[in-house]
Amino acid sequence: MKYYIILLFLSLSLTSFAQEVTKDGKIYEVKNEKIFFEGIDVTQVLTLEERTFIFKEAALISEKMKIAEATKLKAEQADKAKLEAQKVKDAEEKAKLEADKVKKAEEKVLKEAEKAKKAEEKSIKEKEELADKLEKETKKAEKAQKKSEKAQKKAEKEIKKKEKLQSNFEKAESNLEKAQNKYAKLKRKGKLSPQDESKWLDKIDKLTEKVTKAKRKL
């Protein structure tokens, strides 16, 4: 009975991908809760202890694959967030450069205006040209500022969206894990009728589908 319970837990922890396990010089393939040797299903041929060992090793391999995948996903998300942050920073620096250009243009206008006072006839024309130039520079700076703010808002929106997707994924995983643990506990205590077990398995399938969808969105 002890080995059957262990087998149940191990089979639940396996992924849909095949795992190769070596025992006594033989290479077995574990897939869909079955054990194959040279392409032949030998699950029922093996002893209970042999099945337990192979399922345990396959579960460990599966867990390592899950951890590696999760680590890779987190690294990709971190890189993407870093890239978005760099984009925001670049936009801010660009806006600052544009503002400096405007400031220098304004200083130049003042100097030109002082110089224009010495020649009244020439000053009127120069003032009109400088006023027109200042207006264009100001509009250019305002446009750059709006572009920077728009980029920043977009980046913040993307970050919030990713955080929400991550939260939904973690919540779905948590619900699935709780359901699996509770099902296993009830199963172990023998408190499940065939109807209850069917309902639990259906619930776990739905929760698993939710986890898959949440992960696909990420």
Q: How many CA atoms lie within 13 A of 20 on its CB side?
A: 5
pLDDT at site 16: 53
Instruction: Convert the pLDDT of each residue in 155-200 to its tens digit.
Output: 999 999 999 999 998 999 999 999 999 999 988 988 888 998 899 9
Extract the tokens encoding 200.
């639990």
Extract the tokens encoding 152.
């920043």
Rounded Cα–Cα distance for residues 66 and 120 (Å): 80
Higher-pLDDT residue of 41, 95: 41
H-assigned helices in the chain: 2-13, 48-116, 120-189, 194-217
Alpha-carbon torsion (178, 179, 181, 182), positive or negative:
positive
Specify the pTM: 0.33
Instruction: Convert the pLDDT of each residue in 95-119 to its tens digit.
Output: 888 888 888 888 898 888 788 788 8
Boundaries of every domain in the chain: 2-217
Instruction: Convert the pLDDT of each residue in 128-145 to its tens digit.
Output: 999 999 999 999 999 999
